[in-house]
Structure 1
Amino acid sequence: MRLDKFLVDCGVGSRSQVKTFLKKKQVTVNGQVETSPKTQIDEDKDQIAYLGQELTHETFVYYLLNKPQGVISATEDSRHKTVLDLLDETARHKQVFPVGRLDIDTHGLLLLTNNGDLAHAMLSPKKHVDKIYQAKVAGIMDEEDILAFEKGIKLKDHTCQPAKLEIVSVDRNASTSLVQITIAEGKFHQVKRMVAACGKEVADLQRLKMGPLSLPNDLELGDWRRLTQEELDALTIFGIPLA
Structure 2
Amino acid sequence: MTNNLERLQKVIAQSGVTSRRKAENLILEGKVKVNGKVITTLGTKVTPDDKVEVNGVPLEKEEPVYYLMYKPRGIISSVKDDKGRKVVTDLLSEEIEERLFPIGRLDYDTSGILLLTNDGEFANLLMHPKHKIDKVYVAKIKGLPPKSDLTKIKKGVKSEQDILKAVGYRVLSSDKKAGTTILELTLHEGKNRHVRRMMEALGFPVLKLKRERYGLLTLDGLKPGEYRKLTPKEVKQMRNLAIKIVK
1:87 aligns with 2:101: no
Question: Scaled by the length of structure 1, what TM-score is found?
Answer: 0.70
Q: Which amino acid aligns with 2:136?
A: I
Equivalences for residues 90-169 of structure 1 within 5 A: 90-91=95-96, 93-169=97-173
Matched, 1:208 2:212: yes
**Alignment check: 8 A CA contact 2:64 2:119 kept:** yes
**TM-score under structure 2 length normalisation:** 0.69
Matches of 1:148 and 1:212 in 2, distance apart?
27
Q: Deviations over 1:106-149 (max 9, x none)?
A: 00000000010010011112212221100111111231133101
Counterpart CA distance in 1 for 2:100 and 2:166 is 32
Work out the CA distance in 2 between the residues paired with 1:66 and 1:172.
Answer: 31
Could you list the runs of 4 or more consecutive aligned residues of structure 1 that deviate by over 3 angstroms after TM superposition? none
Report the alpha carbon displacement of residue 236 of structure 1 after superposing the two structures with TM. Answer: 2.9
Q: Is the 8 A contact 1:129 1:211 kept in 2?
A: yes
Task: Structure 2: give runs of 5+ residues left out of the alignment.
Answer: 1-61
In the TM superposition, what is the alpha-carbon distance from 1:104 to its structure 2 partner? Answer: 0.7
Deviations along 1:2-31, whole A, 9 cap, x unmatched?
xxxxxxxxxxxxxxxxxxxxxxxxxxxxxx
- Counterpart residue number, 1:8: none
Q: What displacement does 1:161 show?
A: 4.3
Q: How does 1:3-152 map to 2 (within 5 A)?
A: 59-78=63-82, 79-91=84-96, 93-152=97-156
The residue aligned with 1:37 is: none
CA contact (8 A) 1:142 1:167 kept: no
Q: How far did residue 160 of structure 1 move?
A: 2.5
SS in 1 for 2:86: coil
**Offset, 1:81:** 0.9
Counterpart Cα distance in 2 of 1:165 and 1:155 = 19
Relative to structure 1, the CA distance from residue 82 to residue 219 in structure 2 (aligned partners, 3 Å threshold; closer, same or farther) is same
Q: CA deviation at 1:205?
A: 0.4
Q: Match for 2:236: what amino acid? A: D
Q: Give the aligned CA root-mean-square deviation in angstroms.
A: 1.8
Quote the offset at 1:154 in angstroms.
1.9
| TM-superposed deviation, 1:90 | 4.3
For residues 153-192 of structure 1, the aligned pairs below 5 Å read: 153-192=157-196
Q: Percent identity?
A: 39
For residues 203 and 161 of structure 1, what CA distance do their matches in structure 2 show? 19
Shift of 1:199: 0.7
For the 8 Å contact 1:133–1:181, the answer to whether it is kept is yes
Would the aligned equivalents of 2:166 and 2:186 in 1 still touch at CA under 8 Å? no
Displacement after TM superposition at 1:162 (Å): 5.0
Q: Determine if contact 1:137/1:201 at 8 Å carries over to the other structure.
A: yes
| Contact preservation (8 Å) 2:172, 2:183 | yes
Partner of 1:235: 238
Partners in 2 of 1:111 and 1:90 — Cα distance? 18
Is contact 2:122-2:239 (8 Å) kept?
Answer: no
Q: Secondary structure of the equivalent of 2:189? A: coil
- Provide, for residues 178-220 of structure 1, a one-character-per-residue CA deviation record: whole Å limited to 9, x for no partner: 111111111111100111111111000000112222222x200
State the 1:166 CA deviation: 1.0
